[in-house]
Structure formats: structure tokens, C-alpha cells
């Protein structure tokens, strides 16, 4: 899935109170409805019951373990994708030959919807950890390779000319021209890759469900009609996604600033 919510800035300035107005009104309405018994009680737990559930799950249950497992799969898959994706992307972008031979195949592979890989992966890897991590890596691979290739392709001509003047060999070209030139795009690709990886982690746990994880808890909440657990986990899902996005954004700015030096 393509993502566009990467760097959206909320409107600034004196409209601050407007920003929180709607969410607060909705939350109040929710609380009111839950307490007044409007709507199906099963489907509308009050906010404190969700919070209380969260507390019990952390203290008595294994919510923290689930989150940790999900994050581990996320990071593991992401690292694999980064290790494979950046070199492959650079090769695609730098070498005309590689682009012509492998480019079309890669384009075709990109067309296959991510979740179409789930049955294949489960048949090839079973439903254990390897399967989930493989799926996450597959998801993150897409933007990483694409952006690294884009970055390598759009290295300014002057860089290349400098390299030619200094008669760099292939490795020097890579180190002093290609990597720095493609760096911003590579970082963007990694940022997107992280987002996709989290998406895939959730999806993997949904479909390849075995072992602890946030997706498994969501399933549990659904099957047992425990709306408070379900809402709690969906909330956590979003929050972790936002945090990862923010972290990636911070890292991105940091790295780009460092490169400018």
C-alpha cells in the first residue's frame, strides 16, 4: 500500500484550540454514550474500561510481551529488507545493464499486491517466525529498492563528471559519488520501508497467526467479543505506527543534516 501521510504538517498558530475541539467533542460523546447505555453495550466500552483493560493486560497479562514480539518481527524484517534492498536498489539505479535486465522483473514483482504473497509464504515457510519476518521483509523491500534506485538514477551530472575527472574506479565511484548522491532518497526509502514493515507486521500476525503478538490479541478480542481489548489493541497499533513514523522522520532529518556537513 502506498503511503502519503509521511510528512503532513498540521496547521500552526492560533488555531490550536480548533485542532483539539473535534477530538474532545467526540471523546466526550463516546464517554456519554457508553455510560448512558446508548447503543449496544458490547460495542461501546467506556474509555476508562479500555484504559483499565490496558492496565490489567500489562500487569497480569502479556501485553508488553506481545508488543515486544511484534516490534521484534517488525525490526528484524526491516533490517533484512534494508540490507538487501539498498544494494539492489543502488545497482538498479547505477548500472544501465542491471536496470535493463532486472528492472522489468522488479517492476512486475512490484505489481503483485503485498498480501497476495501470504499463501505462498505460508506454504514455503510455514507459519512460524520465519514466515512473518519474511513477509515483513518483502513488504519493506519494495519502497527501499525503489527509492534507492531513484536516488542512484538522479545523481546530479556534476557528481559524475567530478568522478570522471578524478578517474575513480568503481568502488570509489560508489563510495564518494553514488552513496552520497543517492543518500537522501535512500533515507526516504528506509523511512517508507519502516512504515510498510509495520503494516506488514500487523497483517502477518493476522494471517499467519501463531505465537504472541499484537495481531493475535486483536484476533482474540474479536473472537471473544471483547471490545475493550479490541479497541485497546487497535489504539496501540496506531500509536506505535505514529511513533515509528516520528522516529523515522527524526532519524531522516538528522541523517540528512549530518550529510550536509
Partner 1 sequence: MTTTSRQRRSFSRRASSNPARRSFIALAALALGVAIAAPAVADSTVIRLGYPGVGIDNRPFGYGDNISVAHIGHFIEDEFKNDPDVKIEWTFFRGAGPAVNEAIANGQLDFGAGEGDLPSIVARSKGLKTKIVLAADTRDPIYLAVKPDSGIKSIDDLKGRKVAQFRGTNLQIATDRVLEAHGLTERDIKFINLDTGNTLAALASGDIDGAFGGPEFLDLDRRGIVKVVYSTKSDDPAFGRQASLLVTEDFESRHPDLTARVVKAVVKAAQWSTDESNREAVFQGWTKSGIPVETFRADFAGVKLTDRLSPIIDEFFIARYRAQADRAKAYKLLRNDVDVDSWFEPKYLNQALAELKLEDYWPRYDANGKKVATGTVEQTQAATQ
Partner 2 sequence: MSVIPEPGYLEAAVDALALSTDRSDRRTCALPARWARRLQAAAVGLAFPAVLLLLWELSARYGWLPAQILPDPRLVVETIQEFVASGELLDDTRISLMRVAQGFLFGGLAGLLLGVAMGLWPRFQAYVDPLFLAVSQVPTLGWMPLLILLVGIDEELKVIIIAWSAFIPVTLNTYRGIRAVPARYREVGQVLTFGPWSTLTKIVLPAALPTIFVGIREGLANSWQTLVAAELFASSEGLGYLMAWGRQLFQLDLVIMAMIAVGAIGLLFNWGLGSIERRLRRWQVAS
Task: Give the residue, chosen from 39, 87, 104, 128, that forms a contact with partner 1 under the rule CB under 8 A.
Answer: 128
Verify binding: residue 210, partner 1, rule CB under 8 A.
Answer: yes
Residue numbers 56-95 binding partner 2 by CB under 8 A: none
Task: Give the residue, chosen from 100, 164, 170, 175, that forms a contact with partner 1 under the rule CB under 8 A.
Answer: 175
Binding mask 124-143 for partner 2 (x = CB under 8 A): x-------------------
With beta carbons less than 8 A apart as the criterion, state whether 85 and 148 touch: yes
Task: Give the residue, chosen from 126, 154, 243, 250, that forms a contact with partner 1 under the rule CB under 8 A.
Answer: 126
96 binds, among partner 1, partner 2, none (CB under 5 to 8 A by kind): partner 2
Binding mask 12-51 for partner 1 (x = CB under 8 A): ----------------------------------------
Q: How far is the CB of 156 from partner 1 (least distance, A)?
A: 20
Residue numbers 224-243 binding partner 1 by CB under 8 A: 224-225
- Full 3-state SS string of the chain: CCCCCCCCCCCCHHHHHHHHHHHHHHHHHHHHHHHHCCCCHHHCCCHHHHHHHHHHHHHCCCHHHHHHHHHHHHHHHHHHHHHHHHHHHHHHHHCHHHHHHHHHHHHHHHHCCHHHHHHHHHHHHCCCHHHHHHHHHHHHHHHHHHHHHHHHHCCCHHHHHHHHHCCCCHHHHHHHHHHHHHHHHHHHHHHHHHHHHHHHHHHHHHHCCCCCCHHHHHHHHHHCCCHHHHHHHHHHHHHHHHHHHHHHHHHHHHHHHHHHC
State phi, psi for 62 to the nearest 5 degrees. Answer: -115, 40
Q: For residue 6, give Cα distances in angstroms to 88, 178, 197.
A: 24, 25, 14
Binding mask 80-119 for partner 1 (x = CB under 8 A): x--x------------------------------------
The stretch among 26-34, 45-53, 139-147, 216-224 that binds partner 1 (CB under 8 A) is 216-224
Nearer to partner 2 by Cβ, of 4 and 59: the residue is 4
Q: For residue 241, give Cα distances in angstroms to 109, 154, 223, 226.
A: 26, 30, 24, 23
Site residues, partner 1 (CB under 8 A): 79-80, 83, 122-128, 165-167, 172, 175-176, 209-210, 216, 219-220, 222-225, 255, 258
Site residues, partner 2 (CB under 8 A): 1-2, 4-5, 8, 10-11, 15, 18-23, 26, 43, 96, 100-105, 108-109, 111-120, 122-124, 160, 163-164, 167-170, 173, 198-199, 202-203, 206-207, 218-219, 221-222, 225, 227, 230-231, 234, 237-238, 241-242, 245
Amino acid at each position: 500500500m502506498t503511503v502519503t501521510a509521511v510528512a503532513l504538517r498540521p496547521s500552526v498558530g492560533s488555531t490550536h484550540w480548533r485542532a483539539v475541539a473535534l477530538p474532545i467533542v467526540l471523546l466526550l460523546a463516546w464517554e456519554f454514550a457508553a455510560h448512558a447505555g446508548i447503543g449496544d453495550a458490547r460495542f461501546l466500552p467506556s474509555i476508562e474500561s479500555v484504559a483499565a483493560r490496558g492496565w490489567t493486560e500489562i500487569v497480569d497479562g502479556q501485553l508488553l510481551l506481545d508488543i515486544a514480539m511484534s516490534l521484534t518481527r517488525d525490526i528484524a524484517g526491516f533490517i533484512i529488507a534494508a540490507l538487501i534492498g539498498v544494494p539492489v536498489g543502488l545497482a538498479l539505479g547505477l548500472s544501465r545493464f542491471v536496470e535493463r535486465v532486472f528492472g522489468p522483473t522488479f517492476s512486475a514483482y512490484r505489481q503483485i499486491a503485498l498480501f497476495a504473497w501470504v499463501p505462498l509464504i505460508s506454504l514455503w515457510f510455514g507459519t512460524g517466525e520465519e514466515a512473518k519476518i519474511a513477509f515483513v521483509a518483502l513488504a519493506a523491500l519494495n519502497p527501499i529498492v525503489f527509492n534507492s534506485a531513484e536516488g542512484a538514477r538522479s545523481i546530479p551530472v556534476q557528481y559524475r563528471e567530478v568522478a570522471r575527472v578524478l578517474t575513480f574506479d568503481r568502488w570509489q565511484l560508489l563510495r564518494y559519488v553514488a552513496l552520497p548522491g543517492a543518500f537522501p532518497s535512500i533515507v526516504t526509502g528506509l523511512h517508507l520501508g519502516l512504515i510498510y514493515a509495520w503494516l506488514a507486521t500487523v497483517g502477518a500476525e493476522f494471517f499467519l497467526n501463531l505465537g504472541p503478538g499484537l495481531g493475535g490479541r486483536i484476533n482474540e478480542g474479536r473472537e471473544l467479543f471483547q471490545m475493550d481489548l479490541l479497541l485497546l489493541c487497535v489504539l496501540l497499533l496506531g500509536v506505535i505506527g505514529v511513533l515509528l513514523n516520528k522516529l523515522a522522520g527524526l532519524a531522516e532529518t538528522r541523517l540528512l543534516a549530518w550529510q550536509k556537513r
